[in-house]
Amino acid sequence: MKTIFQRIIDREIPAKIAHEDERCIAIHDVNPQAPVHVLVIPKSPIARVGAATADDSSTLGHLLLTAAAVAKKLGLAESGFRLVINNGQDGGETVPHLHVHLLGGRPLAWPPG
């Protein structure tokens, strides 16, 4: 069964796309937790960062570099932004398809949640 993210990648579900390349897609979150909340999602499904292997290292690096590029494109580079990856139920994971949350556009408190 496809995750919601795979269905977005396959264009079965519409999404507001902030970036797309051959390896990933970045979409605006439908339930934003900050003025800017974008999800950077690999097109090749990895269930979670804890399930990634050494073979996924190139994809993982690409996700982080893409998140930084999208942050710059959206005007967050100067003021700052946060990247979050949830892993497992206690980590807040709700979709078993690795994705990076890019949050910004306001001061973000620490510690989170």
Active site residues: 99
Q: Locate tokens 């979050």: which residue?
A: 84
> What is d(CA 1, CA 60) in angstroms, rounded to the nearest whole number?
23
Residue 106, burial from CB neighbour count under 10 angstroms (0-12, 13-18, 19+):
exposed
